[in-house]
Amino acid sequence: MKDYAFTVTHSMPGTLARAGVIHTPHGDIKTPVFTVGGTKATVKTLTPEMVKEMGGQAVLANTYHLMLRPGADIVEKAGGLAKFMHWDGPTFTDSGGFQVFSLGVAYKKGIDAVAHTEKGTSANAKSTSKQLAKVDDKGVTFRSHLDGQTLRMTPESSMQLQWQIGADIHMAFDECASPLASPKYLRESLDRTHAWAKRCVVEHERLWKEHEKLDKPYQALWGVVQGARNEKLRRESARYLASLDLDGYGIGGVFQPEEIPETVRWVAEELPEDKPRHLLGMGNQVSDLFLGVEYGIDTFDCIAFTRQARNGGIYTSTGRINITNAKFREDFTPIDADCDCYTCKNYTRAYINHLFRANEMLAYTLASIHNEYFVVHLVDTIRESIIDGTFLKYKATYLEKYFGKPFTI
């Protein structure tokens, strides 16, 4: 029996924003929600108890990284991802598909999640032998970034790995094409992603039948919509994946924050309203969260908040600060007077500035607690504003305070 469902409970007139609940074997997820990044079965510098205390509802891990170490078989023997990492809530895994991009055409080229151009090269630059991933129609050949070992991943093996890892929600294996790719390659890549999605469905259903016989819980499969910054391709991809009747849908790709309204709207208008929508790897800008929700996103994931915390980048209700700056050495106020996180209730800017300057590891933990609380709590309040019908007013008020001026995009 499939112990999985999604229900929309509230919607916001004049927008695509909605609030709802995803039911999983490990508990319910109230949406919209920020899914905390636990790439290697850990949220860097934080314990699962800390993540739970700050309001985290779900954690997302990376299939590629767990495949390399400790290995999906080890996670399976431990009782699955949640038990292995001592997390008692819902879990997601991505498919490893983004590594096709980051280890392939983007490898050491300066193309990232918001790049429009490739640093130091032309937009038509060819692949180089330094790439660690090569794509063909059957799958992807990787060279491990750890030891150079040659590995192979296909839609079938991605499904097998994710079922071994045992998250509540999986992503179908896809190819994230470079935004700099030619129209011809984008067409080929989209066709490949759709063929892979169909293969994922077949293997997913086979694995579910095996697990059902053993009375193991259902693991949901979400497709990943691609198509770069092309409306025709995005809508086509959404329609095709909708035809596969998946449990939910991710929106993949790399694009600028100002492209979120158009890109997400194209997709949301084509996807079924009774299935959840996830914005993969986006949300490192506060405006991303509001815009994503406004145009139909239910779940987000992004590791930027903990990564920036470890480098001194701290989010506050009036903008982001660098806590290592000299001006904070004698600032004995909390990071954010409006924040109720453990860090803000117990420590000052001066103390955290000292920790960073002294290279103390506690700096990373306290900064990460604050940043993760900040983003989790912000999406929680966005959800509450949808429920009480004040979303558009809340968005305008919050972003004006955050940016110090009225927000427009």
Q: Residue 121: is it exposed, middle or buried by C-beta count within 10 angstroms (0-12/13-18/19+)? A: middle
Pairing of strands 220-225, 248-251: parallel
Pairing of strands 133-136, 139-143: antiparallel
Helices 155-165 and 183-213, axial angle in degrees (round to 10): 40
State the pLDDT at residue 343.
98
Helices 286-294 and 391-403, axial angle in degrees (round to 10): 160
State the pLDDT at residue 118.
39
State the pLDDT at residue 128.
43
State the pLDDT at residue 198.
98
Tell me: cis bond preceding 70? Omega within 30 of 0 counts. Answer: yes
Pairing of strands 91-94, 133-136: unpaired
Beta strand extents in 318-368 (DSSP E only)? 319-322
Reply yes or no on whether 168 is catalytic. Answer: no
Residue 328 C-alpha from the chain's centroid: 32
Partners of 24 in the β-ladder? 27
State the pLDDT at residue 102.
62
Q: Residue 118 has which token pair?
A: 């490739």
State the pLDDT at residue 177.
86
How many residues in total does the chain contain?
409
Per-position pLDDT tens, the chain of length 409: 789 999 999 999 999 999 999 999 999 999 999 999 999 999 999 999 999 999 999 999 999 999 999 999 999 999 999 999 999 999 999 998 776 556 544 444 544 433 333 344 333 334 444 677 789 999 999 888 888 888 899 999 999 999 999 999 999 999 988 888 899 999 999 999 999 999 999 999 999 999 999 999 999 999 999 999 999 999 999 999 999 999 999 999 877 888 999 999 999 999 999 999 999 987 678 999 999 999 999 999 999 999 999 999 999 999 999 999 999 999 999 999 999 999 999 999 999 999 999 999 999 999 999 999 999 999 999 999 999 999 999 999 999 999 999 998 7
Question: What is the set of domains in the chain, with CATH numbers?
Answer: 12-302 (3.20.20.105), 313-403 (no CATH)
Q: Residue 113 has which token pair?
A: 């999640």
From the candidates 174, 247, 288, 301, which is the catalytic residue? 301
Residue type, 185: Y
pLDDT digits (tens, 9 = 90+) for 48-59: 999 999 999 999
From the candidates 94, 247, 288, 336, which is the catalytic residue? 94
CA-CA distance, 317 to 369, in Å (whole number)? 15
State the pLDDT at residue 121.
38
| Closest by Cα among 209, 200, 202 to 63 | 200
Partners of 22 in the β-ladder? 6, 29
Dihedrals φ, ψ of 270, to 5°? -100, -25
**What's the helix, strand, coil split of the chain in %, to 5?**
40, 20, 40
Q: Residue 193: is it exposed, middle or buried by C-beta count within 10 angstroms (0-12/13-18/19+)? A: buried
Reply yes or no on whether 191 is catalytic. Answer: no
Find the farthest-apart pair of alpha carbons in the chain and give their distance in angstroms, rounded.
Answer: 63
